[in-house]
């Protein structure tokens, strides 16, 4: 028997149904990396019990879901003398190749370190400042022909500079990382009763739509209690 499906209400309703299905599929794709984090957290008994952080569950060996760029390749001290900056620029050219355009940008920067992720051509420069140790970053890629090109900054999640600030003394850190095989910028925030991750994938030097993971914990007299819930959502 042949079954016929009729869209009651004509083509407008049919178009709306297709649009809703497309939006759901798009959001599912956007949250895929965060869904993987949620699955890992829900399988971690110590996180559920509140005796281990969500961050440690996804970053620790032997099978980290989130691999952070932790190899310090090059650094420049605060307020360097001209000779020290010249030596830094010489080492950068030797290490990466033709870096003139990036070096021109970095001549106003100091007190930073450049971090590498194994197997990636992208590097993240990180510096912190102020009493809250707020972070600033600069990304660049080393091409196959040893040309050093800037990668745009990851998009802010809100228009507010204050809301976007990632400050270590406030329990927030930003990392270049590989999340389940995908290069990404990962923002991690931690408080007594909550943790969150914002994951911004990187593809062809362009940052893709982000997703977030939010975990909430009960509070106990001795500190953090059991996991109350963890969920993923599409983000800006």
| Number of domains the chain is built from | 1
Residue 167 lies in a domain: yes
Of 214, 215, 230, 209, give the one whose Cα is nearest residue 27. Answer: 209
Residue 70 lies in a domain: yes
Q: How many CB atoms lie within 10 A of CB 80?
A: 14
Helix 11-30 to helix 32-42 angle, to the nearest 10 degrees?
Answer: 60
Residue 2 lies in a domain: no
Of 89, 144, 131, 134, give the one whose Cα is nearest residue 114. Answer: 89
Where in the sequence is the domain holding 45, given as residue range(s)?
A: 11-234
- Cα-Cα-Cα-Cα dihedral of 42, 43, 49, 50, to 10°? -60
How confident is the model at residue 114, as a pLDDT? Answer: 98
pLDDT along the chain (236 residues), means of 10: 49 43 53 97 96 96 94 97 98 98 97 97 97 96 97 79 81 97 97 95 96 94 90 90
How confident is the model at residue 162, as a pLDDT? Answer: 57
Residue 3 lies in a domain: no
Q: Please tell me whether residue 79 adopts helix, strand or coil conformation.
A: coil
Exposure class string for 130-167: b at 16+ Cβ within 10 A, else e: eeeebbebbbbbbeeeeebeebeebeeeeeeeeeeebb
Burial (0-12, 13-18, 19+ Cβ within 10 Å), 170? middle
How confident is the model at residue 235, as a pLDDT? Answer: 86
Q: How many CB atoms lie within 10 A of CB 197?
A: 27
Residue 56 lies in a domain: yes
Residue 4 lies in a domain: no
Residue 219 lies in a domain: yes
User: Sign of torsion, CA 56 61 64 66?
Assistant: positive
Residue 46 lies in a domain: yes
Of 40, 35, 34, give the one whose Cα is nearest residue 59. Answer: 40
């Amino acid at each position: 028997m042949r079954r016929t499906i009729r869209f009651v209400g004509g083509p407008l309703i049919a178009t709306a149904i297709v649009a809703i299905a497309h939006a759901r599929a798009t959001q599912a794709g956007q949250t895929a990396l965060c869904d993987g984090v949620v699955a890992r957290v829900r399988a971690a008994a110590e996180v559920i019990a509140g005796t281990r952080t969500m961050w440690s569950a996804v970053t620790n060996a032997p099978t980290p879901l989130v691999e952070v760029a932790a190899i310090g390749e090059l650094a420049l001290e605060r307020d360097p003398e001209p000779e020290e900056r010249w030596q830094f620029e010489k080492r950068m050219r030797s290490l990466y190749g033709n870096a003139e355009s990036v070096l021109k940008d970095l001549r106003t920067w100091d007190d930073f370190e450049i971090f590498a992720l194994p197997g990636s051509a992208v590097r993240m420069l990180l510096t912190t400042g102020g009493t809250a140790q707020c972070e600033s970053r600069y990304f660049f890629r080393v091409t196959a022909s040893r040309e050093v090109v800037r990668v745009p900054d990851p998009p802010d999640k809100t228009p507010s500079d204050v809301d976007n600030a990632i400050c270590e003394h406030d329990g927030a850190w930003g990392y270049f990382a590989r999340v389940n095989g995908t290069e990404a910028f990962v923002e991690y925030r931690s408080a007594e009763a909550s943790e969150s991750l914002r994951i911004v994938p990187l593809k062809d030097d362009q940052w893709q739509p982000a997703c977030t993971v939010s975990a909430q914990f009960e509070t106990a007299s001795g500190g953090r209690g059991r996991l109350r819930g963890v969920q993923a959502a599409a983000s800006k």
